[in-house]
Structure formats: structure tokens, C-alpha cells
């Protein structure tokens, strides 16, 4: 699982605290999204925010607004 240091810290805190994190994501709706690389077959986990839309969830990532 390839992940940068900032994401690694958020992922570890999320898993250790039943989905609660501090810092930039404190109080925001956060999930861990795991995808599989098409070519490598490797798993990648990334913390992303989401919005509830009736019975669905909208997941988005913005690289800090960049």
C-alpha cells in the first residue's frame, strides 16, 4: 500500500480512534477510500471527505484545493 506520510498519519489516527481525527480533518466527514491500481494490482488507501446526498454518498478529493 503506497501512501505519503501525511496520509499515513491520518489513516493511522482514523483507524485507532474509530473514525475520529484531529488537525485539518477534525469534525469533517471522512472515509478511507481504498482502490486497486489497474496496472499494478496494488491497493491504495486515501483519506477523503464525503457528503451525504439522500441515500447516497458523494466522495471527493481536491488535493487541498489545488
- Residue 1 is predicted with a pLDDT of 46
Closest CA to 24 of 14, 34, 33: 14
Contacts of 3 (CB under 8 A, 6+ apart): 11, 44, 45, 46
Structure confidence by residue, pLDDT tens digits, 32-41 = 999 999 999 9
Contact 59, 16 (CB under 8 A): no
- Residue 21 is predicted with a pLDDT of 95
- Residue 66 is predicted with a pLDDT of 60
**Mean pLDDT of all residues in the chain?**
88
pLDDT at 9 over 50: yes
Structure confidence by residue, pLDDT tens digits, 19-33 = 999 998 899 999 999
Amino acid at each position: 500500500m503506497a501512501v505519503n506520510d501525511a496520509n499515513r498519519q491520518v489513516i493511522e489516527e482514523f483507524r485507532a480512534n474509530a473514525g475520529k481525527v484531529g488537525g485539518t480533518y477534525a469534525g469533517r466527514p471522512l472515509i478511507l477510500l481504498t482502490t486497486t491500481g489497474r496496472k499494478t494490482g496494488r491497493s491504495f488507501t486515501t483519506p477523503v471527505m464525503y457528503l451525504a446526498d439522500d441515500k447516497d454518498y458523494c466522495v471527493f478529493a481536491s488535493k487541498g484545493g489545488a
